[in-house]
Amino acid sequence: MASTLRVLFSTPPGLGHFLPVVPLAWTVLAFGHPVRVVTSGAAVEAAARAGLPVVDIAPDLHGKRSIGSGSLDLADSVNRINPAGRSSRQFTEFDDTIARRAIHAITSWHPDLIVHTVGDFVAPRVASLYSIPLVLHGLGFRSSGSSAMSAPPDQRSLLREVGLDAKPPHAAAVLDTCPPSMRELGRPTAWPMRYISYNGGGASPAWLYRPRSRSRVCVTLGTVVPAVAGVGRFLPIIDTLRDLDVEVILLLGGADRAPLGPLPDSVLTAAWMPLSELLPTCALIIHHGGEGTTMSAIVAGIPQLVLDYRDATAVVSRGLGLSLPADAVESSAIRCSVEQLLHEPSFRRVAEEVRMENSALPSPSTVCSNLGELVVESRVSRFVTAEAVRPGPGGL
C-alpha cells in the first residue's frame, strides 16, 4: 500500500471468526495504515488483547451470547451442530440497535477498505452502499464462497429498515487460507494466503520446553464445548491415554477441572495456551474439529484425531488424521486411533506435506500490498464513472 489507507475489520463475535484475521490486521498496522475492528462479544476483549482498536457494537450483550464466554445460552447451539458445521442459532442477537451501531462505527471512520468474515451481514452492505472495496477473509480449510453471506430471511427486512440492501454484495477479493491439496473441486477463485496460527498471547509454562522421553499429545475441545457440556467429555480420552506411554496436555478452555478428579502424573492441565507454542512440541492432537484448531495443527505439521462435532471429512480425506463420531467416543476406539496415528508414518508424512503447502502460500504482507491495489482500482473506477456522468457544457 503506497498511501495511508484506513482498513476496517468487521467480524461476528465468535473467536473462531475473529482470531484468524488478527495476523492480517497486524500486517496492515506494520505497513503504517490505521486499523479499526468492529465486532462484539468475546471478540472485543480478544481484539483489545491483540493491541487492536475496537468498537463494541453490542455492549449490552456481554456475557449473554459471546462465543468463548461459556454462556448457557449456547447450549442448544453446541448440542445441535449440524453436519455442515454451522450452529443452528445465531451467535448473537441481531436487532436494529446493533445494526445501527455497526453502521455508525463504520461510516464515521470513513474506511478505504473493509475486510470481513462470513456471518457478518452489515459491513458488506455498508461497503456496497458507500462503494468501499470489500474483502472476504477465509477462516481455514472450509470455503467462504465468493461473496458475502446471504442474510437469514427474518433479518432481511431489518436490513432494509436500517437503509441497507438485503442482497449480498460482491466481494472485490476473497482471501483463501486453505492449503491447495485440501481445496474441493469447484472452489471459487480466490487470493491464496498463508494461515498464521494465532489464538492469543500469553506466558508459556516452564514444563513446555523441558526434555521428555515420551511423545506428547494435546487434547482440546475448544472453549465452548467444555463450558457448556462440562469436562466429562474428556474422561474417556483420559482413561485411554493413561495406559499409553505418552504425556498428555489437557486444555480445559477455562472450565472447572474438579469433576475430573485425580489425574495421573502423565496428564497436565491448562486453562488455555497458545497453540502456536504447544503444538510444535506435540506428536498428535485430539480435538473437537474447530477450524482454527485444525489449521493450527496443519501449521504445526502434526496428525489429528477429530472428535466429529463438526465435519472432519477434509482432514480424513487428505490423510492428515482420523475421526470418531462425537456420540460414539469410547476408550477402545480412541486407543486404536491414537496408536494408529502415532505409529503409522503416513500420517506424519502427509501432515508435513500440508504444513509445507501452507508455508509456501503468499504471506499476509504480500496480500497487504495487493489490497492497496484494490483501493487504487476502486478509486479509479469511481473517478471514471463520475467523469462519465458529469454534465457537458450544455448540461444541467
What gap in Å lies between CA 159 and CA 169, rounded to an integer? 13
What gap in Å lies between CA 155 and CA 80, rounded to an integer? 22
Determine the Cα angle at 263 with ends 260 and 268, to 5°.
105
Closest among 295, 322, 19 to 178, alpha carbons compared? 295
Enumerate the H helices of the chain as residue ranges. Answer: 15-18, 22-30, 42-49, 75-79, 96-107, 123-129, 153-161, 224-229, 235-241, 275-278, 291-300, 313-318, 331-343, 345-360, 364-389
- Which residue bears the cell 432494509? 160
What gap in Å lies between CA 324 and CA 337, rounded to an integer? 9
- Architecture of the domain whose range is 7-193+363-389: 3-Layer(aba) Sandwich (3.40)
User: What does 265-285 look like in DSSP terms, one character per residue?
Assistant: TTEEEES---HHHHGGG-SEE
Determine the Cα angle at 19 with ends 364 and 357, to 5°.
45
Question: How far is CA 362 from each of CA 33, 142, 192, 359, rounded to the nearest angstrom?
Answer: 20, 18, 7, 8
Closest among 341, 335, 309 to 322, alpha carbons compared? 341
In a 3-state reduction of DSSP, which class is residue 175? Answer: strand
How is residue 242 written as a grid cell? 493413561
Where exactly does CATH 3.40.50.2000 map onto the chain? 7-193+363-389, 206-358
What gap in Å lies between CA 251 and CA 303, rounded to an integer? 18
* Tens place of pLDDT per residue across the chain (396 aa): 557 899 999 999 988 899 999 999 999 999 999 999 999 999 999 999 999 999 999 997 654 433 333 333 333 333 333 333 333 334 445 688 899 999 999 999 999 999 999 888 899 999 999 999 999 999 988 888 776 667 778 788 888 889 888 787 889 999 999 999 999 888 888 999 999 999 888 888 888 988 888 999 999 988 777 877 778 888 888 988 988 999 999 998 888 888 888 998 899 998 888 999 999 999 999 999 889 999 999 999 999 999 876 778 899 999 999 999 867 677 888 999 999 999 999 999 999 999 999 999 999 999 998 898 888 776 655 544 434 445 544 433
Look at residue 75 in the predicted model and tell me its pLDDT. Answer: 36
DSSP state of 131: T
Look at residue 232 in the predicted model and tell me its pLDDT. Answer: 83
How is residue 73 written as a grid cell? 445460552
What gap in Å lies between CA 157 and CA 161, rounded to an integer? 6
Look at residue 188 in the predicted model and tell me its pLDDT. Answer: 85
Look at residue 380 in the predicted model and tell me its pLDDT. Answer: 58
pLDDT in tens, 304-354: 999 876 778 899 999 999 999 867 677 888 999 999 999 999 999 999 999
How is residue 225 written as a grid cell? 464445548
Dihedral in degrees, nearest 10, Cα atoms 198, 199, 202, 204: -80
Determine the Cα angle at 29 with ends 26 and 33, to 5°.
150
Q: Does domain 206-358 have CATH number 3.40.50.2000?
A: yes
Look at residue 340 in the predicted model and tell me its pLDDT. Answer: 97
H/E stretch holding 173 reads strand 173-176
